[in-house]
Amino acid sequence: MKKRDYYLTVISLILLVIFLYFADRYMDAYIVRILNLCAIYTVLGLSMNLINGFTGLFSLGHAGFMAIGAYTTAILTLSVNAKAQNFFLEPIAAPLANVVLPFFPSLLLAGILAALAGFLIGAPALRLKGDYLAIATLGFAEIIRVIFTNTQNITNGALGLKGIPAYTNLWWSYGIAAFTVLFMVLLINSSYGRAFKAIREDEIAAESMGINLFKHKVMSFTIGAFFAGIGGGLLGNLLGTIDPAMFKFTLTFNILLIIVLGGMGSITGTVISAFVVTISQEALRFLDQPMDLGFIVIPGVAGMRMVVFSILLMLVVLFYRHGLMGTNEFSWDRLINILSFKKPLLKGGKK
């Protein structure tokens, strides 16, 4: 790394920390919550991009992994009293009633359980390809949701869990988002990451170059599930309330939207897109309200703003398939070039 880039990176990290400090102290709860969601969606987007964008596995099971993560942390962090209040239809299964863990081990366990589920579903499902894999993983996510709806004495069924301690703050969410970014960068630029990309590019060639397809696919899938579980855990402890209906396909769709807009196979793209999508989901809330355009009055329809994203997704898939970043990554050179309105360096040009 060049010295200039090193300093620029350190300075921007310090600026981020200062910003977080002020946001944490002085900004109102609504904005802090959106900022938290941005970081959580970054984690979720990156975990899905590893599977779909870098390894080329068309998986739609993300909501399932998130549900496992969210429920694990929720159950482990709920106080004994809160558990008793929540489980009024049927008491919670004996060993869980008195277990209360701090946030970090709960999150870690959430990741591990999600990864385990990822491994168990991945081992048989990853023998499928393309659309078939998508259907199998989608089915898996639905199965998880139905199971959680029906295990009354573990998940409290359709009633959901309320009063989950709000442990997720800016430090947790941004700390974990930063860790995830670092992890992904290190993974993607390692020999294993190259093997993942080879599988995405051409399975047959990858296999005849000696890459064990199955092993690497399961590896990528399990790691993706791990971070999805952690993301789910952060989300649960941010919202304070979870129920199985939250983890429907639309949740997976939201994350898919982020990675397609940002660019399948770009860490930078996912991060930018996670922020843009999360913030505009809030900014576009006025679309859900009744609108008076002068000559016509549009009645308020909840979910109207999602139409914008659907159209955007269609446009991107039709006309700009690489998304915002394609498979490119952030570099200071690129940013400085953009900021100074210079044309990018020609290939092979001197730096």
Partner 1 sequence: MEMLKTDGITMQFGGLTAVKDFNLVLNKGEIVALIGPNGAGKTTAFNMITGVYIPTKGKIYYKGKDITQMAPHNITKLGIARTFQNIRLFKDLSVLDNVLIANHLHIKSNLFEALLRLPKYKNEDKKMLKKSLDLLEIVGLLDVKNEKSSSLPYGMQRRLEIARALATNPEVLLLDEPAAGMNPKETEDLTKFIKQIRDDFDLTIFMIEHHMQVVMGISERIYVFDYGITIAHGNPNEIQNNQRVIEAYLGVDDNA
Binding positions for partner 1, rule: CB under 8 A: 183, 186-187, 190-192, 194-195, 197-198, 201-202, 204-213, 219, 327, 347
Distance CA 83, CA 86 (A): 5
- Closest contact distance (angstroms) between CB of 9 and partner 1 is 17
Distance CA 238, CA 70 (A): 10
* 3-class SS of residue 287: helix
- Name every residue whose Cβ is closer than 8 Å to that of residue 309 and which is 6 or more positions away in sequence: 257, 277, 281
Which CB sits closer to partner 1, 208 or 340?
A: 208
Structure tokens at 210: 């000696």
Distance of CA 176 to the CA centre of its chain: 12
Which CB sits closer to partner 1, 167 or 227?
A: 227
- Name every residue whose Cβ is closer than 8 Å to that of residue 200 and which is 6 or more positions away in sequence: 53, 54, 55, 56, 265
Which CB sits closer to partner 1, 218 or 313?
A: 218
- Closest contact distance (angstroms) between CB of 274 and partner 1 is 22
- Closest contact distance (angstroms) between CB of 330 and partner 1 is 18
- Closest contact distance (angstroms) between CB of 211 and partner 1 is 6
Start-to-end Cα distance in the chain: 13
- Closest contact distance (angstroms) between CB of 220 and partner 1 is 10
Which CB sits closer to partner 1, 13 or 182?
A: 182
Which CB sits closer to partner 1, 203 or 288?
A: 203
- Closest contact distance (angstroms) between CB of 167 and partner 1 is 27
Distance CA 87, CA 154 (A): 9
Which CB sits closer to partner 1, 124 or 290?
A: 124
Amino acid sitting at position 196: F
Measured in residues, the chain has a length of 351
